[in-house]
A = this chain, B = another copy of it.
Amino acid sequence: MKIGLDIMGGDYAPKATVLGAIEAYKQLKEDQKLVLIGDRTLIDPILKDNNFNPDLFQIIHTTEVIGMGEHPTKAIVQKPNSSISLGFTLLKDGEIDSFASAGNTGAMLVGAMFSVKTVPGVIRPAIASIVPKAKGGCGILLDVGANADCKPDTLLQFGILGSIYAEHIYNIANAKVGLMNIGEEEEKGNLLTQASYTLMKETELINFIGNIEGRDLFNDKADVIVCDGFTGNVVLKLAESFYVLTLKKGMKDEFFDRFNYEQYGGSPILGVNAPVIIGHGISSPEAIKNMALLSRDMIETKIIDKFKIAFN
């Protein structure tokens, strides 16, 4: 197994990414190899400072980088040797089995769509995020930003993608799928959620439990929370800001601690033909380590095959 990692992506790259790779190495088996994609002249000194043998990693050298503010599509096309573009080339060619980066989110999304492409049958891939549950465990929220405008059949598919992900990565069997809405009753909502409800209640592909509301994000009503990428992104950023406020105020609590993105290692793009994970821009070594471990889990569980079978 070869786990691809963009060393140049993220606000604290390359130091945080290299340190994260070292930490991940300690938890990986011998046949689970980390492939670092980035500037070797920057990587080597960090490895040396940490007395880490460079031969334990495979290093793919490149000096080109896609910046956080660059236009995704243009950058992917114009910078074929950037760490992100190169990562996707390697992924497409089967040289690595997964690719993860804390860099430009849009470039990761565009790169995934252009290179490994969507799973046949999937209309639009979704970015999934983890939300901690107040009583323990976690839920899956998707889409959190890949698709600002969605159609009902896309939302239904998000429910399927999220259920498979919840089952294989978080051991949540028969995941309860809730539709984020502004009222519990079937007829409530905007045009999108009203039509989506009709589709979702009629399918046997998911365990649809109906509408949930903003207040249900952290309770146990739903394991998989489906929404358009606009709503999901606003919800995610709002929840994060609340967590940051509790931190600033010195409030320590086991539940709020579980909002820490570092534990989850990033957000997978679900519905593309390979494990692809987008890390938080501010990823620390701990976050990078967990991103590598999540990559491993997605490879090991053959989750892409599960998606392919479901949408066949």
Contact = CB atoms under 8 A, between A and B. Distances in A.
Smallest CB-CB A-B distances: 8 pairs: A214-B237, A214-B238, A148-B190, A215-B241, A214-B234, A182-B233, A215-B237, A190-B230
Contacts of A230: 182, 189-190, 193, 231
Interface string A218-234: 11000000001111011
A30 interface: no
A219 B231 CA distance: 20
A236 B215 CA distance: 8
A233 B228 CA distance: 15
Contacts of A237: 182, 213-215
A242 B234 CA distance: 15
A231 B193 CA distance: 12
B148 A189 contact: yes
Interface stretch (A8-16, A159-167, A245-253, A303-311): A245-253
Nearest to A216: B241
B255 A238 contact: no
A108 to B, nearest CB: 15
Residue of A145, A219, A249 most packed against chain B (CB within 10 A): A249
Contact of A234 (B180, B241, B245): B180
- A145, A217, A244, A245: which has the most chain B beta carbons within 10 Å? A245
Contact of A253 (B145, B149, B235, B251): B251
Contacts of A219: 241
A190 to B, nearest CB: 4
Interface of A: 134, 145, 148-149, 180, 182, 189-191, 193, 213-219, 228-231, 233-242, 244-246, 249, 251, 253, 255
Given A148-B189, A182-B230, A193-B230, 4 more contacts: A190-B230, A213-B233, A218-B241, A246-B246
A198 to B, nearest CB: 16
Contacts of A236: 214
10 contacts: A214-B234, A214-B239, A214-B241, A215-B241, A218-B245, A231-B231, A238-B239, A245-B255, A249-B253, A249-B255
A241 B217 contact: yes
Given A148-B189, A149-B190, A238-B238, A233 B214 contact: yes
A218 B245 CA distance: 9
Nearest to A150: B190
Nearest to A188: B148
Contacts of A217: 238, 241
A159 to B, nearest CB: 17
A182 B148 contact: yes
A238 B238 CA distance: 8
A189 B228 CA distance: 12
A215 B238 contact: yes
Contact of A235 (B191, B234, B249): B234
